[in-house]
A and B are shown apart, each in its own frame.
Chain A
Amino acid sequence: MPFGRKKQSEEIRDIRLRSQAGEEENARTIMLRLVRENRLAAFSLVLILLIMLGAIFAPVLTPYTYDGMDLMNRLSGPSAAHLLGTDEGGRDILTRLLYGSRVSLFIGVVPTLLAMVVGAALGMIAGYYGGIADMLIMRLADIMLAFPSMLLAMVIMYMLGDGLGNVILTLALVNWASVARIVRSETLQLKGNEYVEAARVIGVPRPVIILRHILPNCLPTFIVLFTLNVPSSILTESSLSFLGLGIQPPSASWGLMVNAGRQFLTNAPWLAFAPSAAIMLVVLAFNFLGDGLRDVLDPHQKKG
């Protein structure tokens, strides 16, 4: 309908103009613009929130437990009692999916945060101080980035052994370098701003400048980096679990479930399909959200 379309484009222009005029950007207006301009991203946000709620309220949502065997009902297909069927031990797939989302979201969020704190700190130090600090930090990052990340993760996991803590540590070790690189370039750009100079002029010491003047201005970058790194962490964990290096059974993790379902792909395909679909949904949702946030938070970048 041409009339409706025109109206929407006017609305967008309106939003753009207001943002150019420097209207105050708070969390609410950002969310509002996200919903208006990019419905896919808004939908992704809702989906992510739903999955989080599912993870939190898993025990309430399902009558089964994630490791409760029911050998009479092995490999049964989707039914009213088991919405997504059962696995080779008669455990309810949906239940395991819900509990598995705890691991997957945890693995998605915590190592990403860890990697971002370390990467951001090192990136800002490298970018702001320059010189030898820059040289050392960025060459170290280059070394980390020179390895294929999956291979690096596997090597570290072999050395550290299995377990949730080690998976988190591994993912953080693999991811910090790319964060540091991006934050460094952002810092280099911000450093040239006159307000940084103005802060120097009134005698603000350099560490304080980094915390008060550089860090808050990096925030949009952080948000986007976060939403883009979470799915890659989830994927890496899934791959590690699939290869038997991550979470160990009977704990549920999506990657582990795909691995277990592999053997029954021909006679009970839902075993592998359900967790695969869950991984895909979450990863796509985070990616769309990240994309949408980048569009909304960065007015300089034209929408493609």
Chain B
Amino acid sequence: MENKMTLEVDNLKVSFFTMNGEVRAVNDVSLRIPAGKIVGIVGESGCGKSMTARAIMGLLKYPGKVVGGEIRLDGQNILPLSEREKCSIRGSRISMIFQEPMTSLNPVIKVGKQVDEAVLLHSNVTRKEAKRRTIEIFREVGISDPEKRYDCYPHQLSGGLRQRVMIAMAMIMKPEILIADEPTTALDVTVEAQILRLMKKLCEGGTSILMISHNLGVIAQICDYVYVMYAGKVVEEADTFTLFDDPQHPYTKGLLNAVSSLRRGGERLDTIPGVVPNLLYLPEGCAFSLRCGECRKECGDVMPEYREISPGHKVLCTFAGEH
């Protein structure tokens, strides 16, 4: 990709130091997010998607810790920054929205005031100016009657509206990158479509988006490039069309087979057998070997190499391209 990179994550490692030992929640993950694009991360629960997002935001909770790698925002490594410097970056240059719009707003503060907070923190403006900007962004994210909504408390708004408020809060300072951690999981399908359209619009306005989801439908709709994660590692990356047309890693294939479709008629849905392995006791070789339908003898012993099998399409499987 020739584009300028907004966010680059290199060999990021996040570990949790528990009583039972070190859990490598994110193990050597590298991501590239070009300016003005939407990049998706898919994977099952517990594969490290959200931990990657938290590490980027600098919001890992104890006992989680970044143990290696670099996170560069416009070429500047943001990992060694002090808490204060991180505070000034968060919300202004890098921002995030959450899965659960119902609990992501403070119930005792008017939603308008909560959005104001972001403006007042990061720019030197009066309260009146902040309010004007908040109402403006409310209009931009499609909140009808923004003047009236400004004075609402969160419980007076529907889920879709709350998610819009969350997006407004994240977007008001026009950050370079927005991390969306399953932004539509808690919403119903019509609202989901509206929110996705909104995110696409934001992206056209110049913000890069890192979209985390376990919903392949969502990824297919709006992402330009996709990373598939499994047990803390990226197992496959490609642009969206390549990934959906020509998946190479058995895990990606499994995920795609597990998507229901009206066209497939009445047959039973495929599933991937087993569960995500305990990150404390990963197998010697490929982490997916225990559940892989195409597993061979070597898979359990040899760690596969992450290779590029065609330009921009990388796979973590010894036998990719041969299956």
Q: Which residues of A contact B (CB under 8 A)?
A: 22, 24, 130, 193-195, 197-206, 212-213, 216-217, 219
Contacts and interface: CB of A to CB of B under 8 A. Distances in A.
Contacts of A204: 87, 91, 117, 121
A62 to B, nearest CB: 44
A273 B96 CA distance: 65
Given A203-B122, A205-B87, A198 B169 contact: yes
Interface residues of B, number: 33
Interface in B130-184: 153, 155-156, 166, 169-170
A181 to B, nearest CB: 21
B84 A202 contact: no
Given A203-B91, A205-B84, A194 B117 contact: no
A217 B121 contact: no
A-B CB proximity, top 5 nearest: A202-B91, A203-B91, A22-B155, A203-B90, A202-B118
Interface string B71-89: 0000000000001101111
B280 interface: no
Contacts of A199: 106, 117
B91 A195 contact: no
B124 to A, nearest CB: 15
Contacts of A195: 103-107
27 contacts: A193-B103, A194-B100, A195-B103, A195-B107, A197-B98, A198-B104, A198-B105, A198-B166, A201-B59, A201-B95, A202-B91, A202-B95, A202-B117, A203-B86, A203-B87, A203-B89, A203-B91, A203-B121, A203-B122, A204-B117, A212-B117, A213-B106, A213-B109, A216-B108, A217-B106, A217-B107, A219-B108
Most buried by B among A193, A199, A201, A203: A201
B56 to A, nearest CB: 11
Contacts of B169: 198, 202
A17 to B, nearest CB: 14
Nearest to A130: B62
B89 A201 contact: no
B59 A216 contact: no
B92 interface: yes
